[in-house]
Amino acid sequence: MPSYLQPSTTDNYTNTFANNESGTFNEQVVNADYVQSYNSSVTGSWKTYALKKGTTLIWAGLAQDSGDSFKNTVIDYQLLVPA
């Protein structure tokens, strides 16, 4: 099992993806865990979603038109996933 899924690790799935919201993914409404990621102004305008079923994880993010990244560049999405 990857370390980020193990509850004994400080930087794990539960500690990182501590928020949850409903959204539409692939035309289906689901409850998804997410973590807020930040832009260069340290405001959380981006979210990385973790769609989890059993041990299968799918990382997702919502596209935005010409948003500000944490590297102070213009982007349309930002997805930060564990290694």
Judge if pTM exceeds 0.75: no
pLDDT value at 3 more than 70: no
The residue range of the domain holding 51 is 3-75
**Strands (E) located in 1-83:** 19-25, 28-37, 46-53, 56-61, 67-68, 74-75
**pLDDT digits 0-9 by tens, 8-55:** 556 677 777 888 988 777 788 788 888 887 776 766 678 888 887 788
Report if residue 81 sits inside a domain: no
pLDDT exceeds cutoff 80 at 80? no
- Specify if 50 maps to a domain: yes
For the chain, the domain total comes to: 1
The Cα 73–Cα 62 span in angstroms is 17
User: 66 or 41, which is more confident?
Assistant: 66
* pLDDT the model gives residue 30: 83
